[in-house]
Structure 1
Amino acid sequence: MHTVVFAPDSFKGTIGAAEVAAALAAGWGSVRPGDRVVLRPMADGGEGTVDAFAAAVDGAVRVPVRVTGPDGAPTDAAWLRLPATPDAPGGTGVVELASTSGIELLGERRIGEEAHTLGFGQAIAAALDAGVSRLVLGIGSSASTDGGTGMLTALGARFLDASGAPIAVGARGLAELASVDLTGLRALPPGGVLVLSDVTNPLVGSLGAAAVFGPQKGLAGDAIERADAALARLAALLPADSETPGAGAAGGTGFGLLAWGARLVAGSAEVGELVGLPGALAEASAVGPTVVITGEGAFDGQSGAGKVPSYVAAIAVDAGVDALLVAGRIDADADTSAFAAHASLTELAGSGEAAMQDPARWLRDAGAVLARSLG
């Protein structure tokens, strides 16, 4: 008998992490019904971060909020209030960029230079207005490349052109940026601001926000160069280091938060500690044979830089257990050498479209495939 720990991320836009874990466990159990199953759904700061905290922390309360989405449309979202602690007597507010300014809010549309983070800042302001003593911010799954200027605008900062007028929101407005006024920027809460980032990229350059992630958000050709130059202009005006790992996260929102005084950490590791994943692996491996199964929607060349699968693979090594991987698709440039076995829903279903139409079904099949690989 093995202990099998299921620690997947959500499959962005199709199925949440808890449902992924349950479907994989059902498939595994159909082949190896005698194994002990432990569910530890994960997140890395992107979509599903609020859900992960809500599931892990007793007494957490969702607080509805209406914000301006990345395309300017009214968007209903929620932030999470965690119970008071000695370090945070007013409670901790957990706010997720994905649900307020995220790319999934746009459906199939990609609006490039027009997208912004204003709604994320509005949700942060709502949590501050509610009196929280500390903030935890997840910044994955962004729709924009605005350097976090939309967010900071909602918090009281002013970004001005040469005439002293406010610039437009989004990366397009950054091209006109001449000065920044931070005198009205809200103070950090007493317990500070912890930012969960899923990448380690700098703000600008060949590994920066525009060059690496811009094409996913609708930037192409000259627009990528314009956005990179605009972010460099922003970097010269704000009090933060653009080379800080994670400054380029969420289209530069990581950099904007650094300028506010926040602290960036690896989102996967923070959530992993919260849900008790390292302890679960250590405890299980001390008793008997153990494997851990992780996954995400697209396992590609970026997955090794702070995403959930890379974090799980690393702590599996520390615990002396094998890690197995499931993904909606596994790209040709992806390095799967850290995993003893892997399964792709696209391959099982015959196409990416078929896999996304019924992900739970193919996740169950993937769980069964991995169970058979154990022998």
Structure 2
Amino acid sequence: MKIVIAPDSFKESLSAEKCCQAIKAGFSTIFPDAHYICLPIADGGEGTVDAMVAATGGNIVTLEVCGPMGETVNAFYGLTGDGKTAVIEMAAASGLMLVAPEKRNPLLASSFGTGELIRHALDNGIRHIILGIGGSATVDGGMGMAQALGVRFLDADGQVLAANGGNLARVASIEMDECDPRLANCHIEVACDVDNPLVGARGAAAVFGPQKGATPEMVEELEQGLQNYARVLQQLTEINVCQMAGGGAAGGMGIAAAVFLNADIKPGIEIVLNAVNLAQAVQGAALVITGEGRIDSQTAGGKAPLGVASVAKQFNVPVIGIAGVLGDGVEVVHQYGIDAVFSILPRLAPLAEVLASGETNLFNSARNIACAIKIGQGIKN
């Protein structure tokens, strides 16, 4: 009997890999002879590098890069087991969590470090990059990332500009002649789960600026800067710079990746599941087990468990979802391929206790689910 275990992380409690281990351990007490395939997954955001490295037997590359506020930070990216794909999280180099709350300022923040990670991967011969763009501290339109790869942003006097949100309004021209030529032969996929455009009421400044420390005055300055940036950028591409879905993601990194990297912008879970080849693993399985910290009505919006379920249903394989918490509207997930859902909480407890006991609770729940399946196999209609 083949059982595929493919959970996302339980945020602040268990990594996706540890979730796999706990579920497998619980099931193995009841089905010790089953063939288990563990594929820790992620939706393209935090944890994607760890999940994909674990799922493919890859490794982590560490290096120093320029942080969002110009300081040196220790960053990382992942290499898949075959050594052909780099998995980069923008947050590792340009993330909001790298900046103390009192120092957050998207007018000064730059995505330069993210470009350094991409350049380092190219130096290592990588020609396929998966870039997750969640959790950034920046609203620089991806200027920093592009600058690290050789793109030059000039003001009206032809002077090179520092790449940050405050200089978006000063961009008068963009020179691409020194852009890293290796990008032309590199397939880059951007994991993006928002459809916000670059500018406007749903744009990078208005929606994401306040999350990154922008005051109302900063939001207005950033919006005006992005409007100018868009006008200049439009001269380089046939893409509708202002309206492209996802262009405003990560402070405009979405549009920068599309224009400067010729990247494909896709839902994160789609990229991850293709990369770990979930479809091949699911074929012939008796059961698929997925999960994440919380399963509720929002799970149906494209989160990792629904992505796993959609693949499983292509092969008519039953799916069980396990979560720390089952929230409002959880029943909707049954319409999208998750046949049964379970919470691992044995009782009400303080949050700190719940997070600390996640591994034990997940093991116990997995064992109980397996036991129920075993009992069901012996019950006759």
TM over 0.5: yes
**2:76 matched to which residue of 1?**
78
Q: Note if 1:194 corresponds to 2:188.
A: yes
Q: CA deviation at 1:61?
A: 5.2
Q: Could you say what secondary structure the match of 1:95 adopts?
A: strand
Partner of 1:44: 43
TM-score, normalisation: structure 2:
0.77
- 2:144 is matched with which residue? 150
Asked whether the equivalents of residues 27 and 367 of structure 2 are also in contact (C-alpha less than 8 Å), the reply is yes
For 1:257-336, list aligned pairs within 5 A: 257-260=257-260, 261-284=262-285, 289-295=286-292, 297=293, 303-327=299-323, 332=328, 336=333
Mapped partners of 1:160, 1:330: distance in 2:
52
2:190 is paired with a residue whose SS is strand
Q: Cα deviations across residues 129-181 of structure 1 (Å, max 9, x unaligned)?
A: 34434433333333333322221121122334555555554434435444433
Instruction: Assess, with a 3 A threshold, how the Cα gap between structure 1 residues 283 and 211 changes in structure 2: closer, same or farther.
Output: farther
Kindly tell me the number of residue pairs found equivalent between the two proteins.
363
Show CA shifts across 1:202-253 (max 9, x none).
3234544445544544446555555445434333222343444433333321
Q: 1:99 aligns with which of 70, 92, 102?
A: 92
Greater shift, 361-370 or 61-70, is seen at: 361-370
2:17 corresponding residue in structure 1: 18
| Aligned: 1:111 with 2:104 | yes
- Residue 251 and residue 33 in structure 1: after superposition, are their counterparts in 2 closer, same or farther (change >3 A)? farther
The CA deviation at 1:18 is 0.8
The alpha-carbon distance between structure 1 residues 326 and 232, as it changes in their structure 2 partners (threshold 3 A), is: farther
Q: What is the deviation of 1:359?
A: 3.6
Distance verdict in 2 for CA 1:320–1:134, change over 3 Å: closer
Q: How well do the aligned residues superpose, as a CA RMSD in angstroms?
A: 3.8
Query: Is 1:255 matched with 2:264?
Result: no
Contact 1:67 1:76 (8 Å CA) reproduced = yes
| Structure 1 Cα separation of the partners of residues 346 and 160 of structure 2 | 50
Tell which deviates more after alignment, 220-229 or 7-16: 220-229
Matching residue's letter, 2:168: L
Question: Structure 2: how far apart are the matches of 1:329 and 1:225?
Answer: 39
**Hey, what's the Cα distance between the residues in 2 that align with 1:81 and 1:313?**
26
1:245-281 alpha-carbon deviations (Å, 9 max, x no partner): 4333333212111111222333322322332311222
Stretches of structure 1 lacking an aligned partner (at least 5 in a row): 86-90
TM-superposed deviation, 1:13? 5.3
The letter for the 2-side match of 1:324 is: I
Matched to 2:253, the amino acid is T
CA, structure 1 residues 94+36, in 2 after alignment: closer, same or farther (shift >3 Å)?
closer
Q: Percent identity?
A: 33
* Cα distance per residue 1:288-342 (max 9 Å; x no partner): x4233232x4557765454322311222332223433344556647754433343
Could you say which structure has the larger radius of gyration?
A: 2
1:246 aligns with 2:246: yes
SS of the residue 1:38 aligns to:
strand
Out of 126-135 and 27-36, give the one that drifted further: 27-36
Structure 1's 127 and 178: CA in aligned 2 closer, same or farther, altered over 3 A? same
1:78 aligned counterpart, secondary structure: strand
Q: Please give the alpha-carbon distance, in whole angstroms, between the structure 1 residues aligned to 2:134 and 2:102.
A: 18
- Residue 68 of structure 2: SS of its match in structure 1? coil
In the alignment, is the contact (CA less than 8 A) between 2:87 and 2:130 conserved in 1?
Answer: yes
Amino acid in the other structure paired with 1:64: T
> Which of 118, 122, 133 is the aligned partner of 1:124?
118
Give 1:154-169 correspondences, 5 Å limit: 154-162=148-156, 164-169=158-163
CA distance in 2, matches of 1:280, 1:354: 35
TM-score by length of 1: 0.78
Q: Which range moved further: 110-119 or 152-161?
A: 110-119
